[in-house]
Amino acid sequence: MDEVPELSGPTLRVRALMNAARELTARMSRELGMNATDMVALDLLDVHGPMGAAELARRLGIRSASATVLVDRLEAAGHVERIRHHTDRRRVIVAARPSAREASLAVWLPAILAIDQVGRSLSEDEQRVVSTFLDRITAAITGPVAVQTDRG
């Protein structure tokens, strides 16, 4: 097995941030009385807008059948609704209800405002550097992962 290289300080801090975000999601989902996957699904619908169950499954990394059960559960709880696609009437998309967004925002707002306060405390130059860094990290996480090895 290959040895893991020593990671840089920024990499370790990004890892800590990702873990803190995961823990925050778990805490918030408990507060809303739902599991973390349901919470992430609602966030995906809020960020990306209505989508089909198959796309939601892909983004969550779950099987389509599991996404159908998840949507059934969220619909029964009044968090989402199934609606006909505006151009393809055979297709059904899932949309978050405004009440779900309001409930989620009420739980997330303290963390969002605290993060915003930290960002606003930075100078304009610091904000630019941090924003560029985070944009590049986001691209590294969401883009294709290239595995490189040194096997001479």
d(CA 126, CA 115): 15
pTM of the model: 0.73
Length of the chain, in residues: 152
pLDDT digits (tens, 9 = 90+) for 7-20: 999 999 999 999 99
Mean pLDDT of 107-130: 94
d(CA 143, CA 87): 30
**Is residue 74 within 8 Å of 33, Cβ to Cβ?**
no
For domain 9-142, the CATH architecture is Orthogonal Bundle (1.10)
pLDDT digits (tens, 9 = 90+) for 76-87: 999 999 998 777
